[in-house]
């Protein structure tokens, strides 16, 4: 079973090499999608041992994830793991993510920050926002309430599932979109606990409370766009 990690990266020159090196022991290969960075993200990712594909212009995390997923499929991946470039996602959780896929129990596995493993350094404001996002996802997007983490970007899927999930949101709304597509399809899915480390750097670059409104707007527009 060939496992390939997909890592979207934008202006991550300072961290991407370390992230790639920490992920590679748990997978058979890593695809870093340099999303139009103006720094040496692509070079550093290649130095870490990743296959690098490059967006000539910045298209957003969702777009980069899809590019990486398609790249991984072309490289013959049986299982694809989506993981952030900023080192927030602990690669030690990868075996937990892919275990239900390798036994054939599931097609898609979502990492959750709310299933027992305490996220390290998560601010209270983020916790409150995610709780609100969970309710929003349930009522406005149609994601089942039993999904505990509405915005986890840490997930794994089999190759057939990756081909079936036609996510089109280029920017931040892709998390909710993927959850909706998977939970409304015939794909078998599950959440597993994952460990996430927040640092001041990752919080500075990560989503802000007002991004919630932007995500809601993107989802609304997406509902009317072909």
The two beta strands, 108-112 and 189-193, are: parallel
Contact pattern from residue 159 through residue 188 relative to another protein, giving x for each residue in contact according to CB under 8 A and a dash for the rest? ---------x-x------------------
Which one, of 111, 107, 129, lies nearest residue 181 by Cα?
A: 107
Interacting residue with another protein among 13, 39, 70, 148 (CB under 8 A) = 70
Distance in angstroms (rounded) separating the CA atoms of residues 163 and 149: 23
Kindly indicate which of the ranges 53-61, 91-99, 115-123, 187-195 contains the residues binding another protein, using the contact rule CB under 8 A: 53-61
Kindly indicate which of the ranges 10-18, 141-149, 152-160, 218-226 contains the residues binding another protein, using the contact rule CB under 8 A: 218-226
Interacting residue with another protein among 11, 15, 59, 89 (CB under 8 A) = 59
Report the nearest approach of another protein to the CB of residue 42 (Å): 11
What residues have CB less than 8 Å from 130, skipping those under 6 apart?
A: 113, 114, 149, 150, 151
CB-nearer residue toward another protein: 65 or 192: 65
Three-state DSSP state, 63: helix
Q: Is 57 in the site for another protein (CB under 8 A)?
A: yes
DSSP state of 118: P
Distance in angstroms (rounded) separating the CA atoms of residues 70 and 162: 8
CB-nearer residue toward another protein: 74 or 145: 74
Neighbours of 205 (CB within 10 A): 16
Report the nearest approach of another protein to the CB of residue 59 (Å): 5
Size of the site for another protein (CB under 8 A): 24
Which one, of 26, 33, 34, 30, lies nearest residue 48 by Cα?
A: 30
Footprint on this chain of another protein (rule: CB under 8 A): 33, 51, 53-57, 59-60, 63, 66-67, 70-71, 74-76, 168, 170, 221-222, 224-226
């Amino acid at each position: 079973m060939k496992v390939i990690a997909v890592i979207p990266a934008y202006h991550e020159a300072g961290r991407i090499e370390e992230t790639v090196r920490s992920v590679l022991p748990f997978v058979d290969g890593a695809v870093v999608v340099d999303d139009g960075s103006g720094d040496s993200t692509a070079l550093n990712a290649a130095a870490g041992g990743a296959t690098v594909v490059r967006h000539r212009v910045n298209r957003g995390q969702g777009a980069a994830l899809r590019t990486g997923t398609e790249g991984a499929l072309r490289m013959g991946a049986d299982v694809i793991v989506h993981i952030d470039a900023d080192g927030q996602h602990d690669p030690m959780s990868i075996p937990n993510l892919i275990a239900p896929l390798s036994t054939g129990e599931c097609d898609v596995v979502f990492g959750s920050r709310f299933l027992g493993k305490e996220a390290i350094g998560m601010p209270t404001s983020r916790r409150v926002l995610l709780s609100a996002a969970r309710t929003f996802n349930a009522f406005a997007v149609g994601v089942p309430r039993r999904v505990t983490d509405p915005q986890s970007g840490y997930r794994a899927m089999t190759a057939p599932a990756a081909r079936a999930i036609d996510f089109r949101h280029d920017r931040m709304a892709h998390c909710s979109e993927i959850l909706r597509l998977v939970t409304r399809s015939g794909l078998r899915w599950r959440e597993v606990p994952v460990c996430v480390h927040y640092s001041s750097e990752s919080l500075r670059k990560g989503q802000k409370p007002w991004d919630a409104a932007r995500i809601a707007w993107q989802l609304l527009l997406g509902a009317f766009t072909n």
